[in-house]
Amino acid sequence: MTTPAIELVGVSKWYGGFQALKEINLSIAERERVVVCGPSGSGKSTMIRCVNQLERHQRGDIRIHGRAFGGGARDDEAIRRETGMVFQSFNLFPHMTVLENCTFALTWVKQMPEAEAKRIAMSHLERVRIPEQALKYPLQLSGGQQQRVAIARALCMQPRIMLFDEPTSALDPEMIKEVLDVMVELANTGMTMVVVTHEMGFARQVADRVVFMDQGEVVEQAPPEEFFANPRYDRTRMFLSQIL
Amino acid sequence: MAPDHTPAPPLVFTPRPSAPPPPSTVGVMGWLRANLFSSVPNAILTLLGAYILYVFLEAIISWALINAVWDAPNRRACLDAVGRSGACWPGVIAWLPNLIYGLYPKDQVWRIDLGALILVLWALPLFLPRVKSKVAIGLTAVLVYPFLVSYLFLGGEKGWIWMVLVAGSLATFFWVWLTAISEMRTGQGFIPLLVHTLAGPDPVPERARLVRQLAWAALFVTALLIVSRWQLVAVPTRLWGGLFLTMVISGIGITFSLPAGVLLALGRRSSMPLIRGFCVAFIELFRSVPLITILFMFNTMLPLFLPVGVEVDRLLRAIVAVCLFAAAYMAEIVRGGLQAIPKGQYEAAAAMGLGYWQSTTLIILPQALRIMIPAIVGNFIGLFKDTTLVSIIGLFDMLSMARAVGEDTRWLGLFIEPFFFITMIYFVFCFAMSQYSMNLERRLGGGQRR
Ligand SMILES: Nc1ncnc2c1ncn2[C@@H]1O[C@H](COP(=O)(O)OP(=O)(O)O)[C@@H](O)[C@H]1O
Ligand SMILES: [Mg+2]
């Protein structure tokens, strides 16, 4: 069996006395596309943020391509670089142009010459279909455009895994589609993706597996057809009846 | 009757062009009407305000200019000529060198002028277009210029370490201008240009390094030759004074307080208890004591703690006190700015693989400092004015010099005029700082507002 891209083994996480993740076990294969859903406060963000260690878990193991976090800051940084992340609130750097947002980690973290960084950044901006906005500042763009820039920015670092935490939740309805289209295209290139979202159309179209979480636990997981057609748990059914 | 099933053709929506605003709301008349005469009470207030302004300005102008005496041997002559209805400027004019340079020897003040000129020249490339190495030039102005200028001001015997530092500083000054000129003319820095012309467009690294080292060596030797010819007599700091001293203290205070304040603010947010504890203690201690007390403590108590024989210059004591005080205040301003940056910015930086120092210096501080410009410059202005307090410990800043005019037997009792004059000087400097800060805000804020 090949090493999974992401492996969570008995991962628990507490905020003070409150347990946000309860012994999560989850294994995601390379090139697999997983959609994570569940009610608000169920621990979806906490879990996905543990995958790149924006939040530290307190018990259990998280392995990325077979390498576990926790072996020193330098190793952790290197492991983290295998992942790219897209946030609900975009989190673009407002003091840099779109292009600088994309190039700056290449020049500072990867020490790449400016010209090459620019070339890579432009190729990813073309991929998300906004090369013409490269010299604008993020706040001059619409929400949908900003989120696409955020995707391009993450892709510039050439991650093998992309993490999305509710990428369309902060968008007006007419912009959701442009972002989802970009994500569908990305999925078609074979990128390993973990997407927290309530866009069930997206889940049906691209997901290999849907994971349902509640109260810090993975309740059930199944391929989308099965997940939507006959969920096994009452909790899942209730959730689906509320959002569909 | 059978219902008609053919759908009606869709209506076509054409947006109408925008109309010009009503004439009464635009232009000078519109502005006057909207802001000064919008209602009867507003019109009355406007007229009243204009009247008060007129009375006030008229009084000041007739005292300071129209009735003023410009030429007189002493205050008696002024009073005989116009009484108290006009200003007596000859006293201020006679004392002008002291108001500006303190007791610095008259034949040596060119050193102060030269120091100021060098500073202006050093900073000038920062405002020139097409100069790319602005960050490096700015950093050298803060970190390297002080060596050159402190020798210029202090003079005296120089050991070889001093010589090397001063020569290095001068060499850097040459580098600044050579770089600025070559970047403006060729778009390439001076040293890269030399490497390019001497070692070819695509040189082997060793050769490029050799050219670079030779270039610096040549600059340094030139500077050393110049510096070794300087024979500057020593001017002890107790002779420093006037605007010059004010500028020295506040200049050092300002340049020290910003980086120190940033470090203290970062330390206060650190997760390491020892560092956090130290920063909190430092900030709270210095913020809860008046500057005047700190000056006193440093002046009178520091010598008690130092080993016998170690003498710390009085000016240095004042400067250290001002720096530490200003740093504590700056730290709290910076902390406020840091808190305004959303957590998502740290997270996005971390998710892209940036470490703590990279995300702090590249992502967080540039944004935070931008928000803080008004508060930071406000603090600088406060510091500039607070330096008047050093007169308490016997340093002759501009304020003490102004007081000395009225104690001179020729100009006995002449207080208002020198104070009026230094008020103007303070105003010019503070107003310039404030205007510059607004200009900076406008330029840096470009493209970031919604
Ligand atoms: N920084 C935090 N401090 C304390 N509690 C938190 C923090 N972040 C999240 N939580 C709690 O953890 C639980 C899971 O949160 P989260 O992972 O954000 O849920 P989701 O993304 O599924 O809506 C929630 O109950 C939330 O209140
Ligand atoms: Mg969430």
A56 CB within 6 A, ligand 1: no
Calculate the average pLDDT of chain B: 90
Q: What is the mean pLDDT of residues A214-220?
A: 95
Type of residue found at B369: L
Grouping H, G, I as helix, E, B as strand and the rest as coil, residue B107 is helix
Between chains, do A52 and B366 touch, taking CB under 8 Å as contact?
no
- The nearest CA of chain B is from the CA of A97 a distance in Å of 9
For B136, what's the count of Cα atoms within 13 Å in the CB-facing half-sphere? 11
Strand partners, A211: A36, A221
Answer for the pair B376, B385: CB distance below 8 angstroms, yes or no: no
Residue B399 pLDDT exceeds 60: yes
Q: Percentage of chain B surpassing pLDDT 70?
A: 98
Instruction: Residue B335: name the closest of B286, B262, B271 by CA.
Output: B262
Residue B446 sits at the vertex; the CA angle it makes with B440 and B450, to the nearest 5 degrees, is: 130
* A156 pLDDT more than 50: yes
pLDDT digits (tens, 9 = 90+) for A87-117: 999 999 999 999 999 999 999 999 999 999 9
What value does the mean pLDDT take over residues B29-44? 84
Q: What is the mean pLDDT of residues A198-202?
A: 93
Q: Is the pLDDT of residue B5 over 80?
A: no
- Is there a contact between A159 and A85 (Cβ–Cβ < 8 Å)? no
Question: Is the predicted pLDDT of residue A206 greater than 90, yes or no?
Answer: yes
Among A86, A97, A85, A105, CA closest to A130: A97
How far is residue A80's CA from residue A82's CA, in Å, rounded to a whole number?
A: 5
pLDDT digits 0-9 by tens, B53-99: 999 999 999 999 999 999 999 999 999 988 889 999 999 999 999 99
Nearest to B354 among A92, A109, A150 (CB): A109
**Identity (one letter) of the amino acid at A141?**
L
Determine the residue of chain B that is closest to A154 in CA distance: B352
**Which residues are within 8 A (CB) of B395 and not within 5 positions of it... i.e. 6 or more apart?**
B240, B241, B245, B314, B315, B318
Q: How far is the CA of A41 from the centre of ligand 1 (A)?
A: 6
pLDDT band with cut points at 50, 70 and 90 for residue B14:
confident
B68/B64 Cα distance (integer angstroms)? 6
Residue A111 sits in a domain of what CATH number? 3.40.50.300
Ligand with the closest atom to the CA of A38: 1
| A81, A93, A160: best to mutate for the B interface, most B CBs within 10 A | A93
B133 Cβ neighbours under 8 A, 6+ residues apart? B179, B180, B183, B189
**Which residues, numbered 154 to 193 in chain A, qualify as contacts with chain B under a Cβ-Cβ cut-off of 8 Å?**
154, 157
CA–CA gap between residue B390 and residue B254 (Å, rounded): 16
What is the pLDDT, as a whole number, of residue B450? 40
Q: Tell me the C-alpha distance between A86 and B351, whole Å.
A: 9
A1 within some domain: no
Q: What is the Cα B42 distance to its own chain's centre? A: 40
Average pLDDT estimate for A31-45: 96
CB contact at 8 A, B394 and B241: no
Q: How many CB atoms lie within 10 A of CB B160?
A: 7
* Number of folded domains that form chain A: 1
Query: What is d(CA A5, CA A82) in angstroms, rounded to the nearest whole number?
Result: 10
CA of B17 to nearest chain A CA: how many angstroms apart?
24
Residue B163: closest CA among B247, B224, B246, B218: B224
CB contact under 8 A, B448 and A95: yes
Higher pLDDT, A103 or B228: A103
SS3 A223: coil
The domain in which residue A202 lies consists of 6-242
pTM, rounded to two decimals: 0.85
DSSP string for A21-63: EEEEEEEE-TT-EEEEE-STTSSHHHHHHHHTTSS--SEEEEE
Minimum CA distance residue for ligand 1 atom 9? A46
Number of other residues whose CB lies within 10 A of the CB of residue B14: 5
Burial class of residue A17 (count of CB atoms within 10 Å of its CB; 0-12, 13-18, 19+): exposed
| B382-405 average pLDDT score | 92
Task: Say how far apart CA B438 and CA B444 lie, in whole Å.
Answer: 10
ipTM of this model?
A: 0.92
